[in-house]
Amino acid sequence: MQGVKNLFDWKILSIILALLVAGGLNQASAAMGGLFFKRQLLWFALGLSIFTVLAFTDYRKLLTPRVLIILYTILLLSLVVLFLKHTRWLRMAGFGIQPSEFAKLVLIGIFSLLLAQRKDTQYLDLKTFLLMSAFAFPVIILVAVTDLDQGGMLFLLYASYIVMAGIPRRYAVALFLVTVFLVFIVGPDLWNKLKPYQRERVEAFLNPEAYRLSRGYQILQALIAVGSGGLKGLGFHKGLSSRLNFLPEKHTDLAFAVWAEEWGFLGAAFVLALFGALILIILKTAYQTRDELGRYLCFGVATMLFWEVTINAGGILHLLPVASVPLPFLSYGGSSVLVNLAGLGLVFAVSRRRYSFR
């Protein structure tokens, strides 16, 4: 029995399955059992297959410099194509693939490998910092041109790695001064260069009532749906905002509002608690593993999940501007499902070997 415990991390697996069940129920309601629901089940099946393969693969042999460079090159070529077509999707066989989602996993692999190879583990050395930046910013810029939200998400992932790696005090002060300069000097000019809908999104967040028939409509309807759920919710398939189509993008960006309306505060808190527990378990795995690459991989996946949940749920609860960042497993999205389950598969592989490296 002890051998089985060493082979499987049942806590991670149980939480993943619970979130997939919640996601299936949510899409069954939001998509009314239609095409999006059936496609989401297909993505779940494909994602679990990828999870299983990666969970029983030696990630050290998989995440080599050669493999990561090949993946990075494919990613860049895909983003250039999207940039030229000014779209965020690659269409294949009737399905849409979003390369910006896969960029998260590619950058996590590259950052983890670079940090694992450095000699000084106390502070981030200049060479590693420059290499991480050289890999990160071409991707961030290309993604941000067509999808500012995902570009911001990638920057948060990059910044989280930089902070975690340890910044010497002189670099931290310089970074702070540069940030202040950008906010007060470049910020106003950047604001004027934003597209109208991007400025309206921020203005609607600050004053949704003034934009209740445009950008503020999404925010107000999400808050109404969450408030309507009360403590225990209206019940499965009984959410009025979802049934009467008051919620726009209810199967994607606002899927959490559908869940909160039907399952109430207790259901919403349960899902957020599952995410919180999963992130903490991954961070505990990062702390326990003896392998540097595995440690940084776990940190990256935990950080990715944290920002995805924070940005999506924060937008629904009007704590942050609404952004097109899906809530893992509860929002419809094949690329998101595949990337998150692939990342968790790598975490599972690290967990299985966390005490075995010599």
Average pLDDT rounded to a whole number, residues 171-188: 76
> What integer pLDDT is reported at residue 53 of this predicted model?
95
The answer as to whether 90 is a domain residue is: yes
The answer as to whether 7 is a domain residue is: no
Reported confidence tier of residue 357, pLDDT bands at 50, 70, 90: low
The answer as to whether 101 is a domain residue is: yes
Q: Is the dihedral of CA 208, 212, 214, 218 positive or negative?
A: positive
Average pLDDT rounded to a whole number, residues 173-190: 75
The answer as to whether 6 is a domain residue is: no
Token code pair at residue 98: 């979003």
More confident residue, 168 or 131: 131
pLDDT digits (tens, 9 = 90+) for 289-317: 988 999 999 999 999 999 999 999 999 99
The answer as to whether 271 is a domain residue is: yes
Reported confidence tier of residue 48, pLDDT bands at 50, 70, 90: very high
Torsion of CA 265, 270, 276, 281, to 10 degrees: 170
C-alpha to C-alpha distance for 108 and 340, rounded to whole angstroms: 12
C-alpha to C-alpha distance for 37 and 35, rounded to whole angstroms: 5
The answer as to whether 337 is a domain residue is: yes
**Average pLDDT of the chain?**
87
Average pLDDT rounded to a whole number, residues 219-248: 85
Reported confidence tier of residue 3, pLDDT bands at 50, 70, 90: very low
The answer as to whether 186 is a domain residue is: yes
pLDDT digits (tens, 9 = 90+) for 102-145: 999 999 999 999 999 887 667 788 889 899 999 999 999 999 88
* Cβ atoms < 10 Å from Cβ of 152: 17
Burial readout 8-38 (b: 16 or more C-beta within 10 A, e: otherwise): ebeebeebbebbbebbbbbbbbbbbeeebbe
Average pLDDT rounded to a whole number, residues 211-235: 85
> What is the percentage of the chain residues whose pLDDT exceeds 90?
53
Reported confidence tier of residue 63, pLDDT bands at 50, 70, 90: very high
Q: Provide the whole-model pTM.
A: 0.91
Reported confidence tier of residue 280, pLDDT bands at 50, 70, 90: very high
**Res. 1: pLDDT tops 50:** no
> What integer pLDDT is reported at residue 126 of this predicted model?
83
More confident residue, 146 or 294: 294
> What integer pLDDT is reported at residue 211 of this predicted model?
76
**CB within 8 A of 171, min separation 6: which ones?**
124, 129
Q: Domain limits at 146? A: 29-352
Q: Report the number of distinct structural domains present in the chain.
A: 1
